[in-house]
Amino acid sequence: MEKTFNQRVVEEFRAHGGRVEGFAAILLLTTAGRSTGRPRTTPLAYREDGGRYLVFGSNAGAAEHPQWYRNLFAAGGATVEIGDGEGGVTTLSVRPVDLDGEERERRFAEQVRRVPAFADYAARTDRTIPVVALHPLDLSADPAIAGRVLAQLKLHHEDLRRELADLRTRLDTAGPVPGPTSPPNCATTACSSATASGCTTPARTAPSPPSRSSTPS
C-alpha cells in the first residue's frame, strides 16, 4: 500500500530527530479518533510562544475544520512530539486552548507574516481558521490526567503492533522473490537450431573420423 504524504513526513520526522526537509518547524500531534479511539498522528506547522505551542487549523483552506482539531477538543488533550534540537524527539502531553478575539487575530496575523501561505488558506474559506495553544501538562499534579494519557499511549502502542503484524503477514504470504533467469547453455541443452537465440555457448560438433581410403606407406 502506498504511503500518504503525512505518513512519509511522520517517518522522516521520527528518523531525523524532528527535522523534515522543506519544513522550518513542525511537530507531530497525536489525537484519539472520535469514533474509534485509535491514535491519529498529524504533522503540523507550529510556533513556540512562552512555553506553549501554537498550531493552526488551516486544513489548506478547506471548508471544514481538520479532523485533528475535532479529535483534539473531543478528547480534551493529546500528545505532541517535538525535535529537541540535539537529534532527538521529546514527547509531551498537552491541553488545548482555542484562542479567540484579539489574541487569535494577532497570533494568526503573526503566522501570516512568517508563512504567507496561511493568507492564501484564509482567502479560500469562509470559516475562521482556528489558532490553538497547546499547553504542556505536569502529569505529576493530576493522577487522573496521567491515567488518561497512559491509556492513549497504550492504544498508540497497540496500533503500531497491529501495523507490524500486518506487514509481517504480507511478507510471509508474498512467497520467495524469483532470482535472475539465465539463458540456456547450448553445451548442456539441446538447441532447436544452430541459430537458436539465447544460447551462451555454441553447440559442439563431433570431429569426423579419419578417411580409410588410403593407408600410410
- What pLDDT, on the 0 to 100 scale, is given for residue 178? 57
- What pLDDT, on the 0 to 100 scale, is given for residue 176? 64
Segment 84-126, tens digit of pLDDT: 888 899 999 999 999 999 999 999 999 999 999 999 999 999 9
- What pLDDT, on the 0 to 100 scale, is given for residue 138? 76
The domain limits of the chain are: 5-173
- What pLDDT, on the 0 to 100 scale, is given for residue 75? 94
CB-based contacts of 120, cutoff 8 Å, min separation 6:
61
Which amino acid appears at position 217 of this protein? S
Q: How far apart are CA 77 and CA 173, in angstroms?
A: 40
- The CATH classification number of 5-173 equals 2.30.110.10
**Three-state DSSP state, 208:** coil
CB-based contacts of 44, cutoff 8 Å, min separation 6:
26, 27, 28, 29, 55, 56, 68
Q: Which long-range contacts (CB under 8 A, 24 or more apart) does 159-163 make?
A: 159/38, 159/39
- What pLDDT, on the 0 to 100 scale, is given for residue 160? 59
- What pLDDT, on the 0 to 100 scale, is given for residue 23? 86
- What pLDDT, on the 0 to 100 scale, is given for residue 24? 83
Q: What is the grid cell recorded at 34?
A: 472520535
- What pLDDT, on the 0 to 100 scale, is given for residue 182? 47
- What pLDDT, on the 0 to 100 scale, is given for residue 196? 39
- What pLDDT, on the 0 to 100 scale, is given for residue 191? 40
- What pLDDT, on the 0 to 100 scale, is given for residue 174? 73
- What pLDDT, on the 0 to 100 scale, is given for residue 152? 57
Instruction: Using CA atoms of 53, 73, 114, 85 in order, give the dihedral in degrees to the nearest 10.
Output: 30
- pLDDT means per 10 residues, the chain with 217 residues, are 86 93 92 92 95 96 96 95 91 96 97 95 97 86 54 58 69 65 43 41 46 40
